[in-house]
């Protein structure tokens, strides 16, 4: 939850995603997606890159704004470590976004981790 105008929320999201290596695509002023490709390992150069993706939406409430994140399935070679890696990647992204909103003085809280 953050307390900031929509333009500020969009700017912070864009900068935080970019600084973390994600490509952000807005599908509307209130949401979109972000993706990040994992670096290739030396021996798996023949495999397609693994892509971690999240969808996000910005909900405008009475006095606060909620940035809601939805983890998508990892795209790439399937592995039993995928869900663990996804969880770590998602937690890291939430931490980065909360840091950015906190630095701008608009973080009100984090729900549902």
Span 43-76, pLDDT tens digits: 556 666 778 899 999 998 888 888 999 887 666 6
Show the tokens assigned to 45: 């150069």
Per-domain boundaries in the chain: 6-40+48-103
The pTM of this model reads: 0.79
- For the segment(s) 6-40+48-103, the CATH number from 3.40.50.970, 3.30.310.80, 3.30.70.260, 3.40.630.30 is 3.30.310.80
Show the tokens assigned to 82: 């995928």
Q: Where are the alpha helices (DSSP H) in 6-62?
A: 6-19
Position 8 pLDDT exceeds 80: yes
Phi, psi of 43 (to 5 degrees): -85, -15
Which pLDDT band holds residue 91 (cuts at 50, 70, 90)?
confident
More reliable by pLDDT, 23 or 85 = 23
Q: 33-37, 47-51, 58-62, 104-108 — which is least confidently predicted?
A: 47-51
Which pLDDT band holds residue 29 (cuts at 50, 70, 90)?
confident
Q: Give the model's pLDDT for residue 84.
A: 61
More reliable by pLDDT, 50 or 83 = 50
């Amino acid at each position: 939850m953050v307390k900031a105008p929509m333009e500020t929320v969009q700017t912070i999201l864009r900068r935080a995603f970019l600084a973390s290596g994600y490509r952000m695509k807005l599908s509307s002023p209130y949401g979109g997606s972000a993706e990040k490709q994992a670096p290739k390992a030396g021996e798996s150069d023949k495999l397609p890159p693994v892509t971690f993706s999240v969808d996000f939406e910005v909900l405008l409430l009475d006095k606060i704004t909620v940035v809601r994140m939805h983890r998508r399935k990892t795209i790439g070679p399937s592995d039993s470590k995928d869900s663990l890696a996804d969880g770590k990647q998602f937690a890291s992204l939430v931490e980065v976004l909360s840091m950015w909103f906190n630095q701008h003085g608009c973080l009100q809280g984090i729900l549902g981790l």
